[in-house]
Amino acid sequence: MGEDSHSWTAAPAAAERARSVLAAAWSCSVTAEGTREELVGAHTVGEDGRVAVEVPEDSALLAAAICAPRGEPSAVLEFADVAPVPVRNRIRARLWLAGWFAVEGERLVFTPTRVVLRQPSGSVVVDLDEFAAALPDPLTTAEARLLTHLADCHADAVERLTRLVDSDSLHGAVRVQPLAVDRHGLTLRIERARAHGDVRLAFHAPADDVAQLTERMHILLGQASAASCPRALQRQRTDGDG
């Protein structure tokens, strides 16, 4: 069967977003038995969302895992989703996994019993079965490279895309940067002198790889080229250029 066009939305579901944060994170904070450790490049994620952690033999986490009753929540893992492009408030989301560690060979394997995703829109408890079954967004591992390239080399394209944004959202804008991209759309960060806001440009259909993303972006840019330049940015450009 072909892809059901009704099976996707203009934004990722909470479970998919949580798995994307987990897949992209290079580091995490682990709190267990009153100790807190920062781990960098030490974890891997299984297909079911369980997290395997490599720890040294003298790690307090190892001792805590050995002493804790098996299956009882005894640790919390925290992951931060950081925007790859420099903007204010670069933390786009935080993910907390509460659960327990088990010793498997020379590593610890963490099984979550509670998953909480916090985004600017609020916090949500993610269903465990949905979390285990969800897949990360297919653009997750390429997102940082794609966004930094867009910001560094195609600022004109980013400005053109603001033609698709409601003029009220652009009032007082001093800078617009690409904040996030996933298979469902592109999010722009609109910075003002003392505040900021985010707007989302949804794709007409989900993009499952970089080639499809390129096609979706070209369609958005075509729509933007056909739109009139926002008055807010026209005034800003005129004022700024003197």
Binned at pLDDT 50, 70 and 90, residue 2 comes out as: very low
Name the 3-class secondary structure at 221: helix
What confidence tier does 160 reach under pLDDT thresholds 50, 70, 90? Answer: very high
Check pLDDT > 70 for residue 228.
no
199: helix, strand or coil: strand
Q: How many CB atoms within 10 Å of residue 1?
A: 3
pLDDT tens track for 187-219: 999 999 888 989 999 999 999 999 999 999 999
Q: Is the pLDDT of residue 21 over 60?
A: yes
Rounded average pLDDT over 81-85: 95
Average model confidence (pLDDT) across the chain:
87
Can you tell me the mean pLDDT for 28-32?
A: 93
Q: Which of 14-28, 70-84, 113-127, 140-154 is the least confident region?
A: 70-84
The Cα–Cα gap between 240 and 232 comes to 12
Query: From its phi and psi, is residue 49 left (phi > 0), alpha (psi between -120 and 50) or beta?
Result: left
Report pTM. 0.84
Is 118's pLDDT higher than 80?
A: yes
Written in H, E and C, the secondary structure of 138-167 is: CCHHHHHHHHHHHHHHCHHHHHHHHHHCCH
Q: How far apart are CA 143 and CA 62, in angstroms?
A: 34
Model confidence at 4, pLDDT cuts 50, 70, 90, reads very low
pLDDT, residue 238, reads: 45
pLDDT band at 56 (very low <50, low <70, confident <90, very high): confident
Q: Does 105 have pLDDT greater than 80?
A: yes
Q: Is the pLDDT of residue 183 over 90?
A: yes
| Cβ-Cβ contacts under 8 Å for 160 (sequence gap 6 or more) | 221, 224, 225
Please check the confidence at residue 77 and state whether its pLDDT lies above 70: yes
